[in-house]
Amino acid sequence: MSRIGKLPIVIPAGVEVTVDGSTVTVKGAKDTLCQTFNENINIEINDGQITVTRLNDDKENRSLHGLTRSLINNMVTGVSAGFKKELEINGVGYRAAMEGNSVNLLVGYSYNVVMTPPAGVTVEVPKPQRIVISGADKQAVGQFAAEVRRVRPPEPYHGKGIKYADEVIRRKDGKAGKGGK
């Protein structure tokens, strides 16, 4: 039995979950999320809790058991509390600014990079060197944060670029102290 898959998911107050066959719809204060799962996984709601079970112990069903439970838990957490990723911009002259719904990145290129978030994802720029990406869908928030980071990933010599706020960049020594002639 999957250690993650056998844990029940508690439905918090203000969240409504409906199961129609293998489709789960979660409605909350922040958003409504809907996802269809594999038919070999049973999803049931009992006494304010969601339980996920599998039909048999086939390898595919065992691997889908914990995954399905985690995805449903992320849906419930997303519509009630939401998810947030914070990015930091390091470098002289590097900055971000909002242009309507899009974020405009000035990160050392000869052009500005304008990125528009997908539906359900909001972007804020509280400071020119800080970007906050939030939303109810964990996958969409993480994917857009990764796309923004990919514009100028941090480099190991000077630390310039876009990094996650909690990311630690391993710095390398340059050629300066190596005793050149």
SS3 content of the chain, % helix, strand, coil (to 5): 20, 35, 45
Instruction: Give pLDDT tens digits for 93-112.
Output: 999 999 999 999 999 999 99
> Identical fold at 9-80 and 83-164?
yes
pLDDT digit string, tens, across residues 142-158: 999 999 999 999 999 99
* Residue 118 near residue 140, CB atoms below 8 Å: yes
- What's the gap between Cα 95 and its chain centre? 22
pLDDT at 175: 81
For 118, which DSSP code? P
Encode the chain (181 residues) as per-residue pLDDT tens digits. 678 888 999 999 999 999 998 999 999 998 999 999 999 999 999 999 999 999 999 999 999 999 999 999 999 999 999 999 999 999 999 999 999 999 999 999 999 999 999 999 999 999 999 999 999 999 999 999 999 999 999 999 998 999 999 999 999 888 875 654 4
> Distance between alpha carbon 51 and the CA centroid of its chain, in Å?
24
In the chain, domain spans: 9-80, 83-164
Separation of alpha carbons 115 and 147, rounded Å = 9
Q: What is the pTM of this model?
A: 0.89
Three-state DSSP class for 144?
helix
Fold (CATH) for 9-80: Outer Surface Protein A; domain 3 (3.90.930)
CATH of 83-164, one of 3.30.70.120, 3.90.930.12, 3.40.50.300, 3.30.1540.10: 3.90.930.12
Task: Specify the pLDDT at position 173.
Answer: 86
For residue 52, give every residue at least 6 positions away whose Cβ sits within 8 Å of its Cβ, in sequence order, or none.
5, 9, 41, 42, 43, 65, 68, 69, 72
